[in-house]
Structure 1
Amino acid sequence: MTDQAFVTLATTDSYAKGVMVLGKSLRNHNTSRKLVALIGPHVSETSRAVLHKLYDEVRLVDVLDSGDTAHLALMKRPDLGVTFTKLHCWSLTHYSKCVFMDADTLVLANVDELFDREELSAAPDPGWPDCFNSGVFVFRPSEDTYSKLLQYCTEHGSFDGGDQGVLNSFFRGWATEDIGKHLPFIYNMSSIALYTYLPAFKQYGSNAKVVHFLGKTKPWSYTYDPKKRALKGSVEEASSHPSFLLEWWSIYSSCVVPMLHHEHGDQPFYSGCAGSSGCDEETLPPLVPAALPAPPLSSAERKQRWEQGQADYMGIDAFANIEKKLTAFLKRW
């Protein structure tokens, strides 16, 4: 399938690490499609050299920035403005159909069947299911669509300041017109959803094919000890299931870091792996077991999570605990 491709994007060296792991995970699961990486001018020559080994095509693109500080402030994510650069993927007209995947996704199984879907196919966003999450979507490159998207951005902007807002507005029929364009959640399983609806994760999580590390803290934000298979970093920042983070780091440490070392030569660099020749041990945060439980929530925090539909159904908010509380309350009367 030489005219079909998986496409991703990196605008910095940090996100390039994610793109490297994504590419390797697609290769590990024997994709038959081409791999394309769009990169911004700030991606270093070292990262570019590694990407050329993992991807069939590495294309330099201009960085588009929404400049929408007001909407980005609502999300507390000023870094998302440059995600507009993702719109360049519609300019890849030498491909008939593509699947875009964010740099912070990890493939857990072969997903070539996604190419059976039509534009614009995507999975619902866990925060607002009538919107699709733009971390994984099927599209058809087209100069006409590309120019219309850029024009739409100029005239209307984005309701969230990033690419997801403008794409949902542009492809506004996604929620209601064709259910066949709704990808199952297993193709874009957002890591934060594991905590908002844990019973579903326990029921269906083993079928997941793509995990998406949503949130400000990305897998490459941690440090990894390959010998202990343990993460270093702040537990408060953790928004992803430890097993998926460890799988990401297993690929990065065993496959990507050696390539980065080779391209870097004698120049030291921070690989993120404890004990590697490029890791400055003095800068590492303290070792924290990946499965360490979070501190107990205050009553106000619990109330807020309930109101947001994020009750801990398998823990403190389990029915058995609620029943005990009610029984104790009634006994007082």
Structure 2
Amino acid sequence: MNAYILGLLLLISFPESVTPQKYAYVSVLSSNDFLIPAKVLAYRLRKLNSSIPYIIIVTQDITDYSISELKAQGVIVHNDTKIDTPYIATHKARKYQYTKIRLWAMTEFDVIVHLDLDVLPTRDISTLFKCGSFCAVFRHSDMFNSGVFVLKTNETVFHDMVQHVQTAESYDGGDQGFLNTYFHDLKFSPMYDPTGNQPTCENFTMSTLSAKFNYDIGMYYLNNGRFLVDPDIIHYTMGPTKPWLWWTYPLFDLNWQWLDARKEMEQGSDADVDTCIALAGINCLLICVLLIIKAVLEHFVVNMTTDSVSDLETHMVSQSIYLFSVWFSMKLAHQSAHPVPAWVFFTSNTAWTAAILTSTYTRLRTGVDVKVKSILSCGFFTMLSYALSWLILTQITHFNTRVLFAILFILAQQILVVTYYRYALILRPCRQQIHKYQILPNNHHVA
């Protein structure tokens, strides 16, 4: 009986010491384009600490396929509706929303660590659950970033937030600006010390977090590809350089860490093989379609032939065809394909599209047939130039130097590849044809 009474007194006086806290990692998914990073994050969290559940709030835009893929990764899926920003008239992109405030209403958990889907934990981050009632990282200014933050759930706070959605200012039109307004006192809070040596502060239950818990890759690249601190969480904040976008490789070397996590997640599956087969099939289909278009145009279009074509026209046409081929090939490749097969696919499509279209132009404008050998030589020349650029860039360790060389390679390819196409597919075939007529007997009598 005495033990029962003692236990009851402990439960009343120190409930947290007797009843274990319920923790969860939570993210919000409102676009199917973020499915792969969501799966990678789920895999990494489970690998680092499988005892803490990972929940993703999916909005009405998410397909059943995406939901099933998330569940296959052990994600607990919560269906909910998106909370639009009050600035939706001028902020229509999907990232501008207030759905994150729903986390405060998830009172089935005591403490939640929110993670944007474009982050990658490098080690167990469960120490964050002890930081306080609200914690976030300040970067570059007196505004904190909402990609990673910690909160203690509270329905009263949630309802109060809902009441302030329409009236509170948001400097960026989204949840980050709103949260900075709502928790404007966070900047005065002490820094959280995960070692447990943090002094208690009666005035604040909130804490600021070290940059290592939300390390902006912009800081890494501004420091010429060097970390200022050893990050627990890497945040891929730069929009056009997200690590699941194949064209960001090999320039942004920090993306390789995310790609390693993706490869681990997909290990044992046929995803990579299936991607290669699909890309190869599309590439072959494109070549066939281009050859059909070439044959149709050469057969039906006859009124474009002329006796002389200016150098300016051949320069302009060659440049335009190459730029169109690059743009078209980038659009054709799926943005989240694995970088190496995607680059091979892009390079091959660029090469054959540019070569076939340029040879078609030569036939339509001059009446001269371009040999298959010339088309093949242009294709292989293009693929070789891209392959050499890729290999050289992967060997350059310093980011600034790598960017400089990447710019030089782009300019060099634009000049060399287009010049080679113009010579091999326009100038040389026309000169060979003229030379052929010149060696005919009594050629000067030929009309």
User: Please, what TM-score do these two structures have when normalized by structure 1?
Assistant: 0.70
Q: RMSD across aligned C-alpha pairs, in angstroms?
A: 3.4
Deviation at 1:5, TM superposition (A): 0.2
Secondary structure of 1:159's counterpart equals coil
Structure 2 residue corresponding to 1:23, chosen from 14, 28, 42:
42
Query: After TM superposition, which residue ranges in structure 1, 4 or more long, deviate above 4 angstroms?
Result: 69-72, 256-262, 268-271, 282-288
Deviation at 1:136, TM superposition (A): 0.7
C-alpha offsets along residues 28-82 of structure 1, whole Å, 9 cap, x if unaligned? 212431111111222222221121122441111212221526885xxxx945313
Give the residue type in structure 2 aligned to 1:273.
Answer: H
Confirm or deny: 8 A CA contact 2:22 2:109 kept in the other structure: yes
| More contact order relative to length (CA 8 Å, sep ≥ 6) | 1
Q: Return closer, same or farther for 1:15/1:257 CA change in 2, 3 Å cut-off.
A: farther
Partner residue of 1:219? Answer: 243
Secondary structure of 2:186's counterpart equals coil
Partner residue of 1:165? Answer: 177
Q: Return closer, same or farther for 1:203/1:156 CA change in 2, 3 Å cut-off.
A: closer
Partner residue of 1:311? Answer: none
Asked if 1:54 is matched to 2:73, the reply is yes
Q: Return closer, same or farther for 1:69/1:274 CA change in 2, 3 Å cut-off.
A: same
Give the residue type in structure 2 aligned to 1:66.
Answer: T
- How many angstroms apart in 2 are the aligned matches of 1:273 and 1:156? 42
Asked if 1:194 is matched to 2:220, the reply is yes
Confirm or deny: 8 A CA contact 2:82 2:99 kept in the other structure: yes
Specify every segment of 5 or more residues in structure 2 that has no aligned partner in the other structure, as ranges.
1-19, 193-206, 280-333, 351-385, 406-447
- How many angstroms apart in 2 are the aligned matches of 1:194 and 1:258? 33
- How many angstroms apart in 1 are the aligned matches of 2:245 and 2:154? 35
Partner residue of 2:136? Answer: 122
Partner residue of 2:95? Answer: 80
Partner residue of 2:290? Answer: none
More strand by share: 1
Q: Return closer, same or farther for 1:99/1:260 CA change in 2, 3 Å cut-off.
A: farther
Give the residue type in structure 1 aligned to 2:218.
Answer: I
Structure 2 residue corresponding to 1:34, chosen from 53, 66, 72:
53
- How many angstroms apart in 1 are the aligned matches of 2:227 and 2:180? 30
Give the residue type in structure 2 aligned to 1:245.
Answer: N
- How many angstroms apart in 2 are the aligned matches of 1:260 and 1:149? 45
- How many angstroms apart in 2 are the aligned matches of 1:69 and 1:56? 30
More helix by share: 2
Give the residue type in structure 1 aligned to 2:106.
Answer: L
Partner residue of 2:262? Answer: 252
How many residues were matched structurally?
A: 269
Partner residue of 1:102? Answer: 116
Deviation at 1:179, TM superposition (A): 3.5
- How many angstroms apart in 2 are the aligned matches of 1:260 and 1:92? 37
- How many angstroms apart in 2 are the aligned matches of 1:131 and 1:31? 32
Asked if 1:156 is matched to 2:168, the reply is yes
Give the residue type in structure 1 aligned to 2:96.
Answer: G
Structure 1 residue corresponding to 2:338, chosen from 273, 290, 313:
273
User: Please, what TM-score do these two structures have when normalized by structure 2?
Assistant: 0.53
- How many angstroms apart in 1 are the aligned matches of 2:340 and 2:176? 39
Secondary structure of 1:195's counterpart equals helix
Partner residue of 1:141? Answer: 153
Q: Which has the larger radius of gyration?
A: 2
Deviation at 1:258, TM superposition (A): 6.8
C-alpha offsets along residues 114-158 of structure 1, whole Å, 9 cap, x if unaligned? 111112111112x31x22111111101222111211221211241
